Amino acid sequence: MEELELYVNPSPSCFKGAQSPFTTAKLVVLGVPFDSTSTYRPGSRFAPSAIREASANLESYSWRARLDAESVAVHDLGDLAVVHGDVKATLARLERVVAKLSGAGKLPVLIGGEHTVTYGALMGLGRPALLCFDAHLDLRDEYPLGVKLSHATVVRRVIEAASSSAVFLVGVRAASGEEVEYAERKGLRKLTSWEVEELGVVEVARRIREWSASFAKLYVSIDLDVLDPSYAPGVGNPEPEGLKPTTLLELLNLTLDHRVAGLDVVEACPPHDSGGLASIHAAKILLETAAMLHRGARLATRP
């Protein structure tokens, strides 16, 4: 715990508004209030506290998992002590904390912050396969000019550190020509938001499960801009033609299982969030996934 205390600051509020002891909790929430590479709407550094507040004010019963998220033992560790303006130092700290949590048998649940936090988490977990729900490909080589590690390059850096076969993007609909060419050259698995709509959640979930079957560990990253801006206006880079919240939650319900080693929800941007909608959806997603992951772990341990 000494290394956790070195790199983590306590939060005045906690996820769900209730705290389970670290020793008994399987899920450990960690806020990552970092947005130094944001290029359109900075402000995701304020999301961890806003999402915590929303989570404490939503009803907690999951109809999908058929259990109350209140019964899931979750410990909120607080917020990573980020180094504002220094993405490499921040991700190095995050990698250490996530590795420590995983080594202690915990499942890290990260609240961003910008999407670069996914890279630090993946490195800390030993580079599991990445299932990413996102409006953007995040495959630029540099963005902005000269910056190799940012919210717009994170998936490309993940592919370089692991492989393109270990990545599946769902809900994409925004890209540059450079990114499309790179994705096609690498044979990257991806489904656009309208393909998800046309195929339906059952078929999309089947394709995700078929892809993930060969991996022992899975990391799930949910960039809130995968949702249509009408549902989540307060995100760093909103894009029209997004998914419905119900579609996203149904896909998670049909694909999450005991192999999930970590999860994040990123890119909520409270300063631009009309009515707090993005934070409310983020909190709902986290409450539902906590119940789903608890259900998956319980099923995996049945005789």
- Does the pLDDT value for residue 302 go beyond 50? no
Give the residue extent of every domain in the chain. Answer: 2-300
d(CA 6, CA 140): 33
Backbone angles phi, psi at 256, to 5 degrees: -70, 135
- Does the pLDDT value for residue 298 go beyond 80? no
- Token pair for 77: 């560790």
d(CA 60, CA 89): 36
Burial 50-78 (b: 16+ CB within 10 A, else e): bbbbbbeeeebebeebebebeebbbbbbb
pLDDT in the model for residue 128: 98
- The proportion of the chain whose per-residue pLDDT surpasses 90, expressed as a percent, equals 94
The 8 Å CB, 24+ separation contacts for 199-203 are 201/247, 201/250, 201/251, 201/254, 202/254
- Give the model's confidence band at 1: pLDDT under 50 very low, under 70 low, under 90 confident, else very high: low
Q: What is the tens place of the pLDDT at every residue in 129-169?
A: 999 999 999 999 999 989 999 999 999 999 999 999 999 99
Average pLDDT (220-229) is 98
pLDDT in the model for residue 257: 94
- The proportion of the chain whose per-residue pLDDT surpasses 70, expressed as a percent, equals 97
- Does the pLDDT value for residue 54 go beyond 90? yes
**CATH numeric code, 2-300:** 3.40.800.10
d(CA 190, CA 21): 39
pTM of this prediction?
A: 0.96
- Does the pLDDT value for residue 182 go beyond 50? yes
Q: What is the tens place of the pLDDT at every residue in 253-270?
A: 999 999 999 999 999 999
pLDDT in the model for residue 297: 60
- Does the pLDDT value for residue 301 go beyond 50? no
Tokens 């270990």 locate to 166
Compute the residue count for the chain. Answer: 303
